[in-house]
Structure 1
Amino acid sequence: MKKNILVAPLNWGLGHATRCIPIIKALESQDFTPIIASDGVALDILRKEFPHLQTLELPSYHIEYPKNGFFFKIKIFFNSPKMLEAIVSEKKVVKKWIKEYNLIGIISDNRLGVRSKKVPCVFITHQLNVMTGNTTWLTSKMHQYIIKKFDQCWVPDVDAVPNLTGDLGHLDKHYDAIKYIGPLSRLHRKPLEKKYDLMVILSGPEPQRTFLEEKLALELLKYDGKIIFIKGKIQAEQTVVEKENIIFYNYMNSEELEIAFNQSDKILCRSGYTTVMDLAQLGKKAFFIPTPGQYEQEYLAKKLKKEGLVPYCKQEKFEVNKLLEIDLYKGLSDFKTVVTWKELFQLFLK
């Protein structure tokens, strides 16, 4: 009998989807059958990574960024009715899928309605506290309330100091249902010869991804070195364009990305948590440009700069000479944690 597990990442950039890749592979290695569910680019990238697995489409949360990051909270507030509608729809469709696909468990990466009382359910998040400026206390309480509706919460970090998430992923009070599983990355360090002086990798919702792409494509023509630039645009076909010192890719699969990271000396990217975990796994030095208005990315960038690990600046203030700061910082390093998948997956066999 197949041990079907629904794996459902949120479609918010590519980070939630890509950090589910090692989870899906681990499920397969432990004789479970993952069924992937998401929407938009998150579903597209997982279909490319796992063409042999069944995929299902979930309702979209309609997450959109304003052109001005200052209005991020306002935009999310006005989008909240659509998000709530999607969450209600998720719950209904998951109820149907449990019977239709004989699910024995659910792993939800930040999809709030993908859960059921009929099977064991896991919630994956690095945000036990949700940073939203002066409303952090409220959004954190709301998020923690929803997390408690799941059987377990897996936090991809370590329950010790130093750690990667800081206040985002750690509470003052300990809960048995919260399991720190160690940072997750689909990438591995390999001893490859350096080919690029700088790697640029973009992700995140529009229109901010495009704004940064356009700004960097011009600014980095002044960079003295060879650049590989991955736009993070998941499209039907891969495209490659060379312009002066930069080679542009619209997207790369995990294998190609792993090679490109290992062939690059330094990284320029957003300070999304999945990227932070990838950089730690690879032991890379980087420069961060947080998504305007996204408090979580701004918090992580400030935390890691304060610890002397990675420099950053705001999107509108970036100039190519700021990349010289990278050498003044230590860079991220791997925690060498080993995820005990067999033990974690016992939840689904009870």
Structure 2
Amino acid sequence: MQNGKRILVAPLNWGLGHATRCIPIIHALLDYGHQPYIASDGVALQLLQKEFPDLPSFELSSYKITYAEKGKNFKWKMIWDSPKVLKAMNKEKKEVKALVKSLNLDGIISDNRLGVYSKKVPCVFITHQLNVLSGNTTWFSSKMHQKIIKKFKACWVPDVDGKPNLTGKLGHLKKSKLNIHYLGPLSRFTKHNLPQKNDLMVLLSGPEPQRTLLEEKLLEELKYYNGQVLFVKGKIQKKQKRRTLQYQNATVEVVNFMQSKELENALNESTLVLCRSGYTTVMDLAKLEKKAFFIPTPGQYEQVYLAKRFQKNGVVPFANQDDFKIKDLELCNEFSGLTQYDTTIDYATLFEAFSKVKENSEPTSTSLST
């Protein structure tokens, strides 16, 4: 495109994953001469403001998503919270309408924010969940999600089309009328061959209270570890804070958060990563070709599915949060670890979505990675 477009990028504030996978897209928009605007709430907005301090940013109404303390109550907590989510969606629709007008926007990229949509400009939806797993209500939740996606001009799926792939049934439909574009895995990181400083890196994220519950459990378990540990809590705060815990056989450096470049180096310098099985984390670890151990968020069907799938395929082992013991990390010796997909994202073609809308265009499923 010859003329730069004014594009709103709005990730869901559900942990840090939706925000972090928007980072390479924002960089690409800038590289192609476009003007990105950032919109989100909570830690997702804070993270992007730290990464792009010179870009205009706006706060949207919060969905106020929290997890149940017990995994078995996850779905019912989501159902219970759905009225306030719908209320927030209606508010953000009005907020986006105002932004489209005041900023004279040319397009919108929504990463799983269901209310970030406008009929006035081309809108793209990013998701790896074409199927939304929810136990015995999976068919219904998937159809509802697909109905919302259908409103958008295109759906960008950060995975490869075909096999092998990272998402499995989450990101692949047998039949679809959606305008799906497979980007290839999205990651803000680059693999570097650096000296290994950490035997283990713990990387936390996700909504409360489960993030804190896992933090407390792992700090207790690490008393029985033998080696050098870097523990990144995933708590976005004004200032970075560090402290060192010295156990009998383990030295644990605890840091509240890291920005992209520092985190990239830390991951490259770590032999093993202990983390959630959130999909953005999976993409990052695949890009860096890391060995890992997963502890899925209790009750979150997507993370449990991914963890089970990678263990079944001999890639990464996992344990349920309540059952995890530090000795379980020894299982990683029997697994291959994640490997990188050799993909190049064709951003020039992707960004054509924000050119003039073509009349009577038929939806297709395409892959934009080579």
1:284 aligns with 2:286: no
Mapping of residues 219-238 of structure 1, within 5 Å: 219-238=221-240
Which of 316, 328, 339 is the equivalent residue of 1:333?
339
Which of 111, 114, 122 is the equivalent residue of 2:113?
111
Mapping of residues 132-143 of structure 1, within 5 Å: 132-143=134-145
1-structure distance, mates of 2:76, 2:275:
25
Deviations 1:237-293 (A, max 9, x none): 000000011000000000000000000000000000000000100000000000001
1:210 aligns with 2:212: yes
- Aligned AA (2:297): T
Which of 168, 171, 174 is the equivalent residue of 1:169?
171
Q: 4+ residue runs of structure 1 moved beyond 6 angstroms? A: none
What is the Cα deviation at residue 93 of structure 1? Answer: 1.2
1:304 aligns with 2:310: yes
What is the Cα deviation at residue 222 of structure 1? Answer: 1.0
Deviations 1:202-253 (A, max 9, x none): 0000000000000001101211110000000001100000001100000000
2-structure distance, mates of 1:143, 1:25:
28
1-structure distance, mates of 2:73, 2:13:
21
Gaps of 5+ in 2: 357-370
Deviations 1:44-63 (A, max 9, x none): 00000000000000000110
Which of 322, 325, 338 is the equivalent residue of 1:316?
322
2-structure distance, mates of 1:308, 1:95:
47
Mapping of residues 20-31 of structure 1, within 5 Å: 20-31=22-33
2-structure distance, mates of 1:283, 1:221:
28
Check conservation: 1:269, 1:288, Cα contact below 8 A: yes
1:346 aligns with 2:348: no
Mapping of residues 89-128 of structure 1, within 5 Å: 89-128=91-130
1:60 aligns with 2:62: yes
Deviations 1:15-67 (A, max 9, x none): 00000000000000000110000000000000000000000000001101111
- Aligned AA (2:334): L
Name the SS of the counterpart of 1:56 in structure 2. Answer: strand
What is the Cα deviation at residue 196 of structure 1? Answer: 0.4
State the match for 1:293 in structure 2.
299
Check conservation: 2:150, 2:178, Cα contact below 8 A: no
What is the Cα deviation at residue 174 of structure 1? Answer: 4.0
Q: CA RMSD in A?
A: 0.8
Name the SS of the counterpart of 1:46 in structure 2. Answer: helix
State the match for 2:365 in structure 1.
none
Check conservation: 1:107, 1:124, Cα contact below 8 A: yes
Name the SS of the counterpart of 1:315 in structure 2. Answer: coil
State the match for 2:268 in structure 1.
262
Name the SS of the counterpart of 1:167 in structure 2. Answer: helix
Identity over aligned pairs, percent: 60
Give the count of matched residue pairs.
350
What is the Cα deviation at residue 117 of structure 1? Answer: 1.2
Check conservation: 1:221, 1:246, Cα contact below 8 A: no
What is the Cα deviation at residue 332 of structure 1? Answer: 0.6
Deviations 1:173-218 (A, max 9, x none): 1446100010000011011111000000000000000000000011
What is the Cα deviation at residue 120 of structure 1? Answer: 0.5
1:5 aligns with 2:11: no
2-structure distance, mates of 1:258, 1:249:
15
Check conservation: 2:191, 2:288, Cα contact below 8 A: yes
State the match for 2:80 in structure 1.
78
Name the SS of the counterpart of 1:64 in structure 2. Answer: coil
Check conservation: 1:202, 1:270, Cα contact below 8 A: yes
What is the Cα deviation at residue 92 of structure 1? Answer: 1.1
State the match for 2:360 in structure 1.
none
TM-score normalised to the size of structure 1? 0.99
What is the Cα deviation at residue 91 of structure 1? Answer: 1.1
Name the SS of the counterpart of 2:106 in structure 1. Answer: strand
What is the Cα deviation at residue 4 of structure 1? Answer: 1.0
Deviations 1:71-121 (A, max 9, x none): 111111111010001111111111111110010000000000101111110
